[in-house]
Amino acid sequence: MTPPKTVCVAGASGLVGSHIIQAALGRGYRVHGTLRDSTAADKVPYLAGLDGAADGLALFDAEMARERSFDAAVDGADGVFIASLIPTYFGPDGKPAKDMDDEQGYRDIIMPTVNGCLNIMGSAARHGIRTVVICSSTSSTNPLPAVAVKNEVEHWSDEDQQCRAKKYTSAAKTVMEKAAMAFAKDNGIRLSILLPTGLYGPVILPEQMTTNPHVWLRRLINGEKGLHDQIPNNSSSMIHLHDLAELFLAAYENPAAAGRYFGVYDSWHWQDLYGELHKILPDMVMPAPLTEPPVAATGFDFTRRDSLGVAIRDIPTLLRETIDWIKTDPFG
């Protein structure tokens, strides 16, 4: 009998990383998961409680700012998932990214993400690993001028323009992706990059309930004001976390998969989203209505995403499943 393959998931306690672990264990993989503290009492019990974790999950201390920190975790792995590049909105001194100049924005926001990613990829390359999958963001796919329908191959954000707009957090993803692609090319690594945005569905760790969208959905369920005072005239892209994890594994398992893939189901205008939410929660506090014609929702070409062969829940389904799950008060 062929022994199960081992994969390394950098960022085991994160929203995306924990779901990749859950999905990989469900398929019989052995998983090496990394955390800053592999004994953290507020994280480890929830990861250890996943189906298959008793025999299939090993946790390692690793810090992406330290070179070679991931060497032990990637040792013996067949592939690496990098889900530890969490958006950073403040510098070490607490200064908001939007208030920085370019020098500080690059030093405190952009380069920690870039160097952290390359440190992990460096560990993978030193251990002969030739398959890496990275979690990035659709924020790297917003060209100027905007296009009606964007794709992952042709359309990139301009990192210089992002910096001029003080969007250093978004620029970090753009710069990181380009650096990772160059490293992969130089080191013979098959690299896939998943580009998600709004993440819905059940979460694994209690701390994940304190971020959007779960925090404002819970407020709506409790009869409180949600995210907006007035319906904004823009759109939101989203995907169910279980489906996103399946996309990650599909990109890893398909030897022909490489490059960027949208990790969203679709984008809806907020007016339509609130209309759907009102069907699910008829007594919810609605924001003030839109007072101008709605702009078109973000358009995507999903040809590459669909080539991975993953069935993805539609928006009404993922909203209802998320709300129904929150109503169960899963963490007590």
Question: What amino acid positions are annotated as catalytic residues?
Answer: 173
Indicate the burial class of 159 (C-beta count within 10 angstroms; 0-12, 13-18, 19 or more): buried
Two tokens, residue 285: 């506090």
Q: Give the 3-state secondary structure of residue 34.
A: strand
Question: What backbone phi and psi angles, to 5 degrees, belong to 291?
Answer: -115, 10
Q: How many CB atoms lie within 10 A of CB 142?
A: 19
Helix pair angle (111-126, 168-186), 10° resolution: 20
The whole-angstrom separation of Cα 241 and Cα 194 is 13
- Answer whether 217's CB lies under 8 Å from 284's CB: no
Indicate the burial class of 102 (C-beta count within 10 angstroms; 0-12, 13-18, 19 or more): middle
The whole-angstrom separation of Cα 302 and Cα 141 is 13
Q: HSE on the CB side for 54, CA within 13 Å?
A: 2
- Answer whether 83's CB lies under 8 Å from 192's CB: no
